[in-house]
Amino acid sequence: MHILITGGGGFLGQKLARKLAANGKLRGQEITAMTLMDVAVPACPDAGFPINAEACDVSDEAAVGRLFAKHGPFDVIYHLAAVVSGAAEADFDLGMRVNLMGSLNMFQAARAQGNCPVVVYASSIAAHGGEEPDVIVDGVELNPQTSYGAQKVMGELLLNDMSRKGFMDGRGLRLPTVSIRPGKANAAASSFMSSIFRDTMQGDTSNCPVGRDFLIFHSAPRTVVENLVIAGEIDGAEFGFNRCLNLPGRSDTVGEMIAAMTKVFGPEAEARITWDSDPVIEKIVNGWRNRVISEKALRLGFVQDKSFEDTVRWFLEDDIARPA
C-alpha cells in the first residue's frame, strides 16, 4: 500500500501524513511507503515505513509524469494541492493552471497507472453560493462564486466521469471552513475564522470583522483529517452515481465559538479580540453558505464535530504542542 499526498507540505497534508503514519494501515493493508509532494520539499513525519518527499508542481504535466515514473504506482492518492481562493481570485490563469490543469494532470497520471487507484480529492464548500437555497442539502446545483470554487467543481466533474469510466476510484469531499487552522493569519476573507481563536490563545490580539451572531460552517482539522482517511477506506460503490459530497460540519455563531473557547481556555483569549467591522470582508462572507445538511456523508459514515470545545482542546493538544 503506497500512498501519494499532493499538497503534502500544507497543514492538512502534514496532519494527514502523521495520521496515516500512526495508523500504519489503510483499506485493510499495511502502508509500505508514502510519497509527499508539494511545490517545496515537504517535511517527513516519523513513520514505520519509508517516506519520499518531493518538490513537484502539479501544474507541470511532465514533472508529474516523472514523479509517477520514479515512485509509482500508487494505490491511494490524496490530491490536496491547490492554489487557495484568494490567489485564484487574484490570478485567474494561475488558478486554472494549478487547480484545474493540476487536477487533470494528477487524474490522468492516476489513470495511466492502469490500476484504478483510489483518488481522494479535496473540494470545498466554496462550490456553493449564488443561486442556491440558504440551507444547503445534498443535490442542489453547485453555483460557485469564486474562481477557486469553479475550478474545484470542474475537478469534481472530472473525478466523477473518470471514476465512471473506470480510470480511477474517485471520492470528492467538499470541506467546510477548517477552524481552528494552525499557522499564520493570511489574506483570505475567512482568515479571522481561525485567527480570533488561534492568535488570541497564543497571546496576540486578533480582529473580528463580523458580529457575534455571524454563523460559521466549520470543521476541526482533526475531524477533516479523520474524514480524509474515511474517504480512502470506503468502498467506492457506496458513493453511488455521484462521488462528491458535502462533508459534515457544525454551524455555530462567532459568539458560541468564543464561549466554547472561554470554557476550555479561560477568559484571557476573548479579551484580546477587537471588534472593528470590515464591510469588504462582511460582504464576501455574507455571500457564503453557513448551513449545510450532509445527509449522504453521514449515511456513508463520515464524522461530524460534536462541539467547538473539542476543537479548542484538539488545537491546544495538536498545534500548540507542535506548531504547523
The set of catalytic residues is 148
Nearer to its own copies, 164 or 263 (CB): 164
Smallest distance from the beta carbon of 100 to its own copies, in angstroms? 8
Nearer to its own copies, 242 or 274 (CB): 242
Nearer to its own copies, 151 or 195 (CB): 151
Nearer to its own copies, 136 or 178 (CB): 136
Contact 125, 288 (CB under 8 A): yes
Instruction: Give the single-character DSSP code of 130.
Output: S
Smallest distance from the beta carbon of 185 to its own copies, in angstroms? 26
Burial (CB < 10 A; 0-12, 13-18, 19+), residue 323, is exposed
Residue 111 φ then ψ, to 5°: -60, -45
Smallest distance from the beta carbon of 299 to its own copies, in angstroms? 13
Smallest distance from the beta carbon of 61 to its own copies, in angstroms? 13
> CA-to-CA distance for 242 and 123, rounded, in angstroms?
14
Bridge partner residues of 54 (DSSP): 37
Q: How many CB atoms lie within 10 A of CB 196?
A: 29
Q: Residue 99: which of 153, 55, 56, 169 has the closest Cα?
A: 153
Residue indicated by cell numbers 501519494: 4
Residues of the shown chain interacting with its own copies in the complex, contacts defined by CB under 8 A? 92, 96, 104, 129-133, 138-145, 147, 150-151, 153-154, 157-158, 160-162, 164-165, 167, 240-242
